[in-house]
Amino acid sequence: MEGNQNYELDFKGKGSDFFGIIIVNWLLTIVTLGFYYPWAKAKQLQFMYSSTNLNGDSFSFHGTGKEMFKGFLKAILIFGVLYGVLILFVYLEMPFIGLFLFYVGFIAIFPLAIHGSYRYRMSRTSWRGIRFGYRGDRNEFIKLFFKWIGLTIITFGIYGPWMAMNMRNYLLGNVRFGDSEFKYNGDGGEYFILNLKGYLLTIVTLGIYGFWWQKDLFRYYVDNLSLRKGNEKINFTSTATGGDFFSLIAVNLLILIFTLGLGYAWVVTRTMGFVFSHVALDGNFDLDTLTQTEENYKDATGEDLSDFLDLDAVM
């Protein structure tokens, strides 16, 4: 087993640079009636990844607007079919059947979108030429997803924290970084207590504890994550405090208010810088020993479906 290694994770993106990208993206998306969106998203992701560094070397996002455009068209087609079914049954004067089929189809899209987005996003990400990958099985994940959501429904939402942690454990546990693998050890019971405590104390303190609740959630997400290769391991640890979250959120709100929203780019880059500056890495894993094992996957349908469903939080 090797001795402890040194790791440095940071984000160097500037708000001014991101602002330039966003303005051009907005204009071109408007001019093209929305069809430029896949290229806009690809450029934003390329900026974010290239601005993120590990031990002085930046990550790379290899996805292209062309790949995402194909997925974008497929996503529009899928949602078009769902709305078409709804309209058809409304026309046939059977709106309840139409709504039932629409929502069943809508919910069925979620696991496909999550699985597809992970598979695409990971396969198009690299560091020092070593690709990430996602090895989850689609059919297995779909079965698990409906099991979890079924339990959440019949328990009137109480099972939700267990569903969230089971999903995170499965998804992150199937992410590969070359010949190493991520592991997440979240527990639904702990997550339930964490949120119950945060909710109650936020009410009692008239919202003040909310910043410490965010700190606790961030810490739980980070501290349960690790990267492993054989006997070597890197542990992730949060160093953020409730005061840090208060400063971040308060300043971000002021920026948005006094710039009438134009400071959004600075809010994003400040937040990214905050996240990476408050994640510490410690372990005995020599990153120079990573070898390539993952393959390309160019179908971005899941990525675009996740956009339509606003699933970034799951990612």
Spatial separation of the C-alpha atoms in residues 9 and 54, rounded to whole Å: 5
The answer on pLDDT for 285 being more than 50 is yes
Asked whether the predicted pLDDT for residue 308 surpasses 60, the reply is no
pLDDT at 220 over 90: yes
What distance in Å separates the CA atoms of residue 4 and residue 301, rounded to the nearest whole number? 41
At 281, phi and psi to the nearest 5? -115, 135
Band the pLDDT of 1: cuts 50, 70, 90. very low
Confidence of residue 241 (pLDDT cuts 50, 70, 90): very high
Query: 284 vs 300, which has greater pLDDT?
Result: 284
Closest CA to 299 of 81, 134, 59: 134
pTM: 0.88
CA end-to-end span of the chain, whole Å? Answer: 32
Give the separation between CA 245 and CA 271, rounded to whole angstroms.
10
Higher pLDDT, 142 or 1: 142
How does residue 5 score in pLDDT terms, banded at 50, 70 and 90? confident
- pLDDT over 70 (residue 110): yes
pLDDT of residue 217: 97
pLDDT band at 300 (very low <50, low <70, confident <90, very high): low
Q: Provide mean pLDDT across the span 122-126.
A: 93
Mean pLDDT, residues 67-90 taken together: 87
Residue from 223, 120, 213 nearest 175 by CA = 120
User: Tell me, what's the pLDDT at 107?
Assistant: 86
Question: 178: which 2 tokens?
Answer: 């070359």
**Whole-number average pLDDT of the chain:** 91
Token readout for 90 is: 């409304």
Structure tokens at 312: 């970034």
Return the minimum-mean-pLDDT range out of 34-43, 251-260, 291-300: 291-300
- The rounded distance, in Å, linking the Cα atoms of 123 and 184 is 19
Q: What is the CA radius of gyration of the chain?
A: 21
Higher per-residue pLDDT: 74 or 151: 151
Percent of the chain with pLDDT over 70: 93
Average pLDDT over residues 124-150: 94
Judge whether residue 219 has pLDDT over 50: yes
pLDDT band at 298 (very low <50, low <70, confident <90, very high): low
Mean pLDDT to the nearest integer, 105-123: 89
Residue 314 is predicted with a pLDDT of: 46
The answer, yes or no, to whether residue 302 has pLDDT greater than 60, is no
Categorize the per-residue pLDDT at 312 as very low, low, confident or very high, splitting at 50, 70 and 90. Answer: low
Higher pLDDT, 108 or 314: 108
CA angle 63, 267, 308 (to 5 degrees): 45
pLDDT at position 313: 43
pLDDT of 296 > 90? The answer is no
